[in-house]
């Protein structure tokens, strides 16, 4: 089964709109179509970004908490023991890359593919949500 790490921008896009590949991807998390991997720092980033966005997307904090609780419940949990930052320009992207490498993920799903340019040295695929769904035969 394909193992991926979702960049925060994918989660936020899914919360903002029920149309599009990000929402479809989030709705498939935990269904057995693919595995997602999280770490404590990544979930903290998800929570921070989702909380900031909550009012804009018409969700209250308990709803955001329920969504994140579900993602945590169905995802694989990866501890990070060694930080080798910085590799990428954005420290948040480095955190996503660390989870992917430590968990032996197949790739990262993000809207910022160019920001993960150096990830190819780790034998990771970088997909947009639509590209990932197509590759997995889910759309």
H or E segment and range at residue 132: helix 129-135
Q: Is 30 helix (H, G, I), strand (E, B) or coil?
A: coil
Residue 121 is predicted with a pLDDT of 84
20-24: long-range pairs with CB below 8 Å, 24+: 20/129, 20/130, 21/128, 21/129, 21/130, 21/132, 21/133, 21/139, 22/129, 24/129, 24/133, 24/138, 24/139
Residue 120 is predicted with a pLDDT of 76
Residue 91 is predicted with a pLDDT of 79
Residue 118 is predicted with a pLDDT of 81
Domains of the chain: 3-135 (3.40.50.1010)
Are 64 and 54 spatial neighbours (Cβ–Cβ below 8 Å)?
Answer: yes
Over its length of 139 residues, how does the chain's per-residue pLDDT go in tens digits? 999 999 999 999 999 999 999 999 999 999 999 999 999 999 999 999 999 998 898 999 999 999 999 999 999 999 987 666 677 887 789 899 999 999 999 999 999 999 998 877 899 999 999 999 999 999 8
Torsion of CA 58, 36, 120, 137, to 10 degrees: -90
């Amino acid at each position: 089964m394909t193992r991926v790490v979702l960049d925060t921008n994918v989660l936020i896009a899914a919360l903002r709109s029920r149309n599009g590949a990000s929402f479809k991807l989030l709705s498939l998390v935990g269904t057995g179509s693919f595995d997602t991997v999280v770490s404590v720092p990544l979930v903290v980033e998800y929570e921070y970004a989702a909380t900031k966005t909550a009012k804009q997307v018409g969700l209250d904090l308990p709803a955001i908490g329920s969504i994140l609780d579900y993602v945590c419940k169905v995802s694989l949990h990866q501890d990070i023991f060694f930080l080798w930052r910085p590799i990428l320009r954005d420290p948040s992207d480095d955190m996503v890359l660390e989870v992917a490498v430590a968990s032996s993920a197949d790739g990262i799903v993000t809207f910022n593919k160019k920001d993960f340019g150096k990830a190819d040295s780790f034998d990771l695929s970088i997909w947009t949500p639509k590209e990932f769904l197509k590759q997995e035969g889910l759309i």
